[in-house]
Structure 1
């Protein structure tokens, strides 16, 4: 249950007449060479990495160790928080030690030789079409006998030890994969996330609070620092906010 994660630069995909670079992010189980998670994106960043991780954890439970390099997409606060929530040890490869990621780098070479080299990229009109082709190749790879697995396929080898897989509930997964940041609340009980205003409980006025949110900002929560309870917040309604009665500050010590 050691998963190695890495990304590879793909070719350009022409969409609406504009060339865009593709990045492929993959997770490989070290013992079986089974690809537990993979997807193609227009950006190589931690948000996309976490989406691949979320899909893999949902399907196969959480690993014991995640093995990454020191790139910004892998070594950051969000990934560290995620690993702590799901109880996974993060291991970062020492610089200039290519053997630490040898298996997944070798797999990416196989991907380029057997999938990318045979594609006609002009045939793909969207990223979703490319993703479908990638998923079909990975499914075929996972079920094909691997030379280093004593006559087994990566899939067969992976599920030989299915008893050690520890699954999380869907609720645990959804909460664990939230992004996190801190924000200072204004006197009007408002915070900003990506230049968008949200209203919080009046008791948080002028405090620094912890926020957790989905990458698409559809769900945003305030974290109770004592209980870790999540309370959802909504977009600011400026009309309602303007009608809230606020505590007046009484000046003392002055003269009329």
Structure 2
């Protein structure tokens, strides 16, 4: 079962993406040592488009950690944050900040040489450019590597068996007499070019990716790796969380390099020429996303998959798919698959039993005030405010709903039985004691008339 209480950090997901690159090469028959060296030579891009390289030692360490403890083992260890640098002088840091503001394209070695020319670095003092890079990162200065070299590795690739690699991409088009903007999220098998699924939506959003990926896995089983671009829907943290839960190697193509996704780009052109261009301004086309999804699925499964492909030696994707001897890998169960699309959300409950998720206030049952709870966000159940939220309450999952303040204003309040407090006679206060000491009665409690019977008894 998937641990719904675990939420992976962006650093762990990025490291998982890097070792997924190595795993993808291993699936192509590369030796692990060669795949690791190739990963060292490759630039890996963050969600912000920043290029990063990693040492061979880091990749080996991450691979060993992943094989031992999964994605959780890739979480970075917490360290005390350093605001600037412990090895560079403050004068050098001030120079780097001012010089970077004047020249954004100056390389780090060039900045070090300039600092040495201004006597900010001694003639025999060694300054590692990695230390400078880290200090600039902490100061929030730009350290972008710039454009890739022309000699970058751009070799073509193709997987040998079905479901080794699935390529996903979004194709924008217009439909209907009013030219409504629509996006078709396609899933294509790399080895056989077989169309696995398509979902039409109004924009490239997360929900379409989740629905399409779930339908593909439910129908055809799990793939070894997913290959997609840096579209807004694909780089979202929720997508990476789901891929990690499914155990899929997620590989992102190079930024602004469509040639690296040649197969899906060719498919998009053929889809446009085969059908999509005819939907624009057509009065007979219903621009509803559901109707367009049905239309594009018919085109994908009943038309495209049966067309001969020159790249397949004249075979159709349908023939290549069904002639493959590679067995499919179905999901453990439908319940397990849905759990993989359920992410945990930790929130603090306010004193009036409210939790806030994505700017929306949800009401939780009484008894959770001022506590921390774990909510279950089901990505396959979209709502007007995001996704359906569930809370484990009394051994059952109950769905949370946005608070209805107007209904709460007119509904009755729950009656709580309060036990009466026992009557306790409090001791005299300091003020009372002071009063009695200052203004004590002149007579005793008997009023100055003692009881003679008491004296005779004594």
Q: Does 1:213 align with 2:416?
A: no
Match for residue 241 of structure 2 among 71, 74, 81: 81
Change in CA separation of 1:220 and 1:95 when aligned onto 2, cut-off 3 Å: same
Structure 1 residue aligned with 2:211, among 35, 51, 70?
Answer: 51
Cα distance change on mapping 1:183 and 1:240 into 2, 3 Å = farther
Query: In the alignment, does 2:394 pair up with 1:233?
Result: no
Indicate the residue corresponding to 2:167 in structure 1. 4
Confirm whether residue 122 of structure 1 aligns to residue 283 of structure 2. Answer: yes
1:202 paired with 2:367, answer yes
Unpaired runs of 5+ in structure 1?
Answer: 247-256
**Equivalent position of 2:351 in the other structure:** 187
Q: 1:65: how far off?
A: 0.6
Task: Label 1:57 to 1:183 Cα distance change in 2 as closer, same or farther (>3 A).
Answer: same
How many residues matched? Answer: 239
Judge which range, 177-186 or 131-140, deviates more.
Answer: 177-186
- Secondary structure at the aligned position of 1:202 is classed as coil
Task: Name the CA shift for 1:200/1:34 in 2 (closer, same or farther; >3 Å).
Answer: farther
Q: Where does residue 297 of structure 2 map in the other structure?
A: 135
Give the direction of change, closer, same or farther, for the CA distance of 1:213–1:41 in structure 2 (3 Å limit): same
For residues 49 and 77 of structure 1, the distance between their equivalents in structure 2, rounded to whole angstroms, comes to 13
Matches within 5 A, 1:33-52: 33-52=193-212
Highest Rg: 1 or 2? 2
Q: CA deviation at 1:207?
A: 1.7
CA distance in 2, matches of 1:197, 1:245: 26
Change (3 A) 1:202 1:84: farther
Per-residue deviation, 1:240: 8.1
> TM-score when scaled to structure 1?
0.80
For 2:417 and 2:173, locate their aligned partners in 1 and report how far apart those are by CA, in whole Å.
56
- Counterparts in 2 of 1:36 and 1:24: CA distance versus 1, 3 Å: same
Q: TM-score, normalised by structure 2?
A: 0.47
> Which residue of structure 2 lines up, in the alignment, with residue 174 of structure 1?
338
Give a deviation string over 1:28-50, Cα, whole Å, max 9, x none: 11111111111211121111111
Larger mean Cα displacement after TM superposition, 98-107 or 184-193: 184-193
* Conserved 8 A contact 2:349-2:372: yes
| Alignment CA distance shift 1:219-1:244 (3 Å) | farther
Paired with 1:244 and 1:196, the residues of 2 have a C-alpha distance of 25
Higher helix share: 2
CA RMSD after TM alignment:
3.0
* Structure with a larger share of its residues in strand: 1
